[in-house]
Amino acid sequence: MKRYYLDANATYEILPAVKESLVALLDGPRSFSYLNGSSIHAEGQKVRALIDAARADLYRYVRLREADFQIVFTSGATEGNNTALLVPFEMSSAKDSLKPEYAGHVISTSVEHSSVEEGLQRLERAGVEVTRVRPGSDDIISPDAVLRELRPETKLVSMIWANNETGVIHPIPEIFRAIQRASPNCILHTDAVQALSKLELDLSSFPFDFLTIAPHKFGALPGIGISIVNKRLPLKPLAVGGAQELKWRPGTENVVGIVSIQAALAELSKLITRYREVITPLRAEFEERVLAHYPTIEVIGKDAPRLPNTVMMRLPGILTEDLVVALDLAGVSCSRGSACSSGKQLGSHVIGGMNYPKEAGREVLRLSFPANFQESDLETVLERLFQCFERFGLRTKASHSDTIPASVH
* Residues 33, 182 within the same domain: yes
* Residues 118, 176 within the same domain: yes
* Residues 197, 238 within the same domain: yes
* Residues 68, 32 within the same domain: yes
Q: Summarize pLDDT for 206-233 with one digit per residue, the tens.
A: 999 999 999 999 999 999 999 999 999 8
In a domain, 26, yes or no: yes
For the chain, give the percent of residues with pLDDT over 70.
92
In a domain, 408, yes or no: no
* Residues 146, 109 within the same domain: yes
387-399: average pLDDT: 85
Predicted confidence at residue 124, as pLDDT, reads: 95
Predicted confidence at residue 395, as pLDDT, reads: 81
What is the C-alpha separation between 391 and 292, in angstroms, rounded? 18
Predicted confidence at residue 290, as pLDDT, reads: 98
* Residues 201, 341 within the same domain: no
Q: Which bin fits 291, alpha (ψ -120 to 50), beta or left (φ > 0)?
A: alpha
| Domain endpoint, select from 221, 238, 265 | 265
Comparing CA positions, the residue from 375, 384, 91 lying closest to residue 235 is 91
* Residues 49, 146 within the same domain: yes
Predicted confidence at residue 399, as pLDDT, reads: 46
| CATH number assigned to the domain comprising residue 369 | 3.90.1150.10
C-beta neighbour count of 138 within 10 angstroms:
13
pTM: 0.92
Strands 225-230 and 310-314: unpaired
What's the total number of domains in the chain? Answer: 2
Q: Summarize pLDDT for 22-35 with one digit per residue, the tens.
A: 999 999 888 888 88
Q: Summarize pLDDT for 53-98 with one digit per residue, the tens.
A: 999 999 999 999 999 999 999 999 999 999 999 999 876 555 566 6
For the chain, give the percent of residues with pLDDT over 90.
80
What is the C-alpha separation between 393 and 399, in angstroms, rounded? 12
Q: How confident is the model at residue 247 (pLDDT cuts 50, 70, 90)?
A: confident
The single-letter DSSP state of residue 277 is I
Q: Summarize pLDDT for 167-213 with one digit per residue, the tens.
A: 999 999 999 999 999 999 999 999 999 999 999 999 999 999 999 99
* Residues 227, 330 within the same domain: no
3-state secondary structure of 253: coil
* Residues 155, 108 within the same domain: yes
* Residues 258, 321 within the same domain: no
Quote the mean pLDDT of the chain: 92
388 counts as catalytic: no
Query: Which structural domain range is residue 133 located in?
Result: 16-265
Q: Which one from 186, 334, 340, 388 is the annotated catalytic residue?
A: 340
